[in-house]
Structure 1
Amino acid sequence: MRMDHEEEFLNTFFTQVTQLCFEKAKESVEKERESCRLTQMGPWGMLLMHLPQVVVAERSYADLGFLHTKNKGFLRKDTSLKPTYECLKGDLRRVEEMTRGTNTIGATVAEVSSQLCQFITARIQLIEFYEKMYNMSLTHKSMKHQELLRIIEGIADVHSLSCCHMALTAIKAALTLECEILVQLTRAQVEVSNWRFLSSLMALYGAQARMTAWERTLQSRESWKLGFGATFLKANQQPALYQWLVKLKSAILAKCSLYFHTTLSQQATQGEMRNIMSKQNLDYYHKIQTFQRKWDVLAVLIIFDARGPEDSGPGYRHPDREADTYEEFPIVVGCPTILVQKPSIHWDTIKQVIKERQAELLNMDKIFYIKSSKDPIIYAMSSIDPRMTLITVYESGKQKDKEPHIVTFMNDLCSHLKCNKIYESLKLSK
Structure 2
Amino acid sequence: MQLKMANSNAQLTSIPEQSILEVYFLALGQYNYDRAKEQAEKEREAMRSASGSASWFWVNTLGMLSRLAVAEKNYASLTYLSPKWFGKKESMKLTYSSLVTDLGSMEQSGAGQTGQAQQTEVLLAHICDQIRHFCEARTETVEFYDKLCPMGNQRTDVDYGELLSTVDGLIATHGHHFHHPLLIPIKQRFTLELEVLQGLLKAHQFMLDWQFLPTLLQLHNVHSKLENLGANIRFKEGKKSGVVIPSKAVGVPPLYQWLARFKAAQVSKFSLYFHDSLSKQALSTSEFKGHLANLLVDHRAKIIAFSKKADALNVSVVYDTNNAIEVFKGHGYHHPYSQHEVPTGLDSYPAIFSYPEEKPIRLWPMVVMLLNSKADELTDLDRVIYSFDKTQSMTYFITRLEGRFSLVVIFNSKKSERDSYIKSFMQEMNMLLRGSNIFASLRLGHKN
Regarding TM over 0.5, the answer is yes
CA contact (8 A) 1:304 1:330 kept: yes
* Matching residue's letter, 1:86: S
Q: 2:320 aligns with which of 266, 280, 305?
A: 305
* Matching residue's letter, 1:405: Y
1:390-426 Cα offsets, whole Å, 9 max, x none, are 11111343x6599322111111111111111111011
Indicate whether 1:135 and 2:150 are aligned: yes
Structure 2 equivalent of residue 406 of structure 1: 422
Gaps of 5+ in 2: 1-9, 236-246
* Matching residue's letter, 1:266: K
1:261-291 Cα offsets, whole Å, 9 max, x none, are 1111111121111111110111111111121
Indicate whether 1:338 and 2:358 are aligned: yes
In structure 2, the CA distance between the partners of 1:89 and 1:70, relative to structure 1 (3 Å rule), is farther
In structure 2, the CA distance between the partners of 1:137 and 1:425, relative to structure 1 (3 Å rule), is same
Q: Normalising to structure 1: TM-score of the pair?
A: 0.89
In structure 2, distance between residues paired with 1:354 and 1:145: 23
Indicate whether 1:106 and 2:125 are aligned: no
In structure 1, distance between residues paired with 2:219 and 2:341: 28
Indicate whether 1:85 and 2:96 are aligned: yes
In structure 1, distance between residues paired with 2:80 and 2:137: 14
Q: 1:213 aligns with which of 228, 233, 244?
A: 228
Q: 1:157 aligns with which of 164, 172, 185?
A: 172
1:179-224 Cα offsets, whole Å, 9 max, x none, are 101101111121122211011111111111000001114469xxxx
1:346 counterpart SS class: helix
CA contact (8 A) 1:196 1:314 kept: no
Structure 2 equivalent of residue 94 of structure 1: 105
* Matching residue's letter, 1:90: T
* Matching residue's letter, 1:418: R
In structure 2, distance between residues paired with 1:317 and 1:360: 35
Answer 1 or 2: higher relative contact order, Cα 8 Å, separation at least 6: 1
* Matching residue's letter, 1:23: D
* Matching residue's letter, 1:421: N
Structure 2 equivalent of residue 69 of structure 1: 83
Structure 2 equivalent of residue 361 of structure 1: 378
CA contact (8 A) 2:313 2:410 kept: yes
1:55-104 Cα offsets, whole Å, 9 max, x none, are 101111111132122355xxx99983221111111111111122212132
Indicate whether 1:427 and 2:438 are aligned: no
Structure 2 equivalent of residue 177 of structure 1: 192
Structure 1 equivalent of residue 297 of structure 2: 282
CA contact (8 A) 2:394 2:413 kept: yes
CA contact (8 A) 1:195 1:314 kept: no
CA contact (8 A) 1:198 1:315 kept: no
Structure 1 equivalent of residue 266 of structure 2: 252
* Matching residue's letter, 1:285: R
Deviation at 1:358, TM superposition (A): 2.3
* Matching residue's letter, 1:49: G
In structure 2, distance between residues paired with 1:247 and 1:235: 19
Aligned residues: 411
1:392 counterpart SS class: strand
Deviation at 1:308, TM superposition (A): 2.1
In structure 2, the CA distance between the partners of 1:213 and 1:429, relative to structure 1 (3 Å rule), is closer
1:83 counterpart SS class: helix
CA contact (8 A) 2:77 2:445 kept: no
In structure 2, the CA distance between the partners of 1:106 and 1:237, relative to structure 1 (3 Å rule), is closer
In structure 2, the CA distance between the partners of 1:10 and 1:429, relative to structure 1 (3 Å rule), is closer
CA contact (8 A) 1:64 1:240 kept: yes
CA contact (8 A) 1:140 1:415 kept: no
Deviation at 1:344, TM superposition (A): 2.0
Gaps of 5+ in 1: 221-232
The root-mean-square deviation of aligned C-alpha atoms, in Å, is: 2.5
Deviation at 1:356, TM superposition (A): 3.0
1:134-158 Cα offsets, whole Å, 9 max, x none, are 1121224433222211111111121
* Matching residue's letter, 1:98: S
CA contact (8 A) 2:93 2:139 kept: yes
Deviation at 1:235, TM superposition (A): 6.0
